[in-house]
């Protein structure tokens, strides 16, 4: 952070007859810095490379949020997928269980019947 001497700004506020609240700029206000205040900064606002600044800010925000957002999205997606396909999987599982039990029962019946017939023929 660049240290700023509040003196020149305080003087400009007082000479304009503004209260502290009135001196706070709004987003739509054009800020005119006193010459003494501008001298404390290595570059003026007009000299900034706005594209470079935007890129640096974007990278900084993404680095800060990247991992936490990825974890949050992963958890939320897992919950959503579970909620969406959970009931369908339960239904499919129940249907498969009924079908499998039926087929196993039929296979056991056929095997037992075949063995009984084989034993009758051999006697």
Single pTM value for the model: 0.34
Q: Is 8 helix (H, G, I), strand (E, B) or coil?
A: helix
Contacts of 7 (CB under 8 A, 6+ apart): 36
Each residue's pLDDT tens digit in the chain (123 positions)? 556 566 666 777 777 777 777 777 676 666 666 565 554 555 556 666 778 878 888 888 888 787 788 888 888 888 888 888 888 888 999 999 999 999 999 999 999 999 999 888 887
Contact partners, residue 99, CB within 8 Å, separation at least 6: none
Per-residue pLDDT tens over the stretch 60-76: 888 878 778 888 888 88
Q: What is the pLDDT of residues 15-26, one digit of tens each?
A: 777 777 777 767
Residue 51's pLDDT is 80
54, 60, 64, 67 alpha-carbon torsion, rounded to 10°: 90
């Amino acid at each position: 952070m660049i240290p700023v001497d509040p003196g020149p700004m305080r003087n400009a506020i007082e000479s304009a007859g503004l209260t502290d609240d009135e001196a706070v700029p709004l987003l739509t206000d054009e800020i005119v810095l006193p010459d003494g205040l501008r001298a404390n900064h290595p570059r003026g606002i007009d000299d900034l490379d706005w594209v470079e600044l935007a890129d640096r800010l974007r990278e900084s925000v993404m680095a800060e949020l990247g991992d936490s957002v990825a974890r949050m999205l992963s958890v939320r997606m897992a919950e959503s997928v579970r909620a969406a396909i959970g009931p369908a999987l339960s239904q499919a599982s129940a249907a498969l269980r009924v079908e499998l039990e039926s087929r196993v029962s039929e296979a056991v019946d056929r095997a037992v019947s075949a063995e009984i017939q084989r034993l009758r023929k051999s006697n």
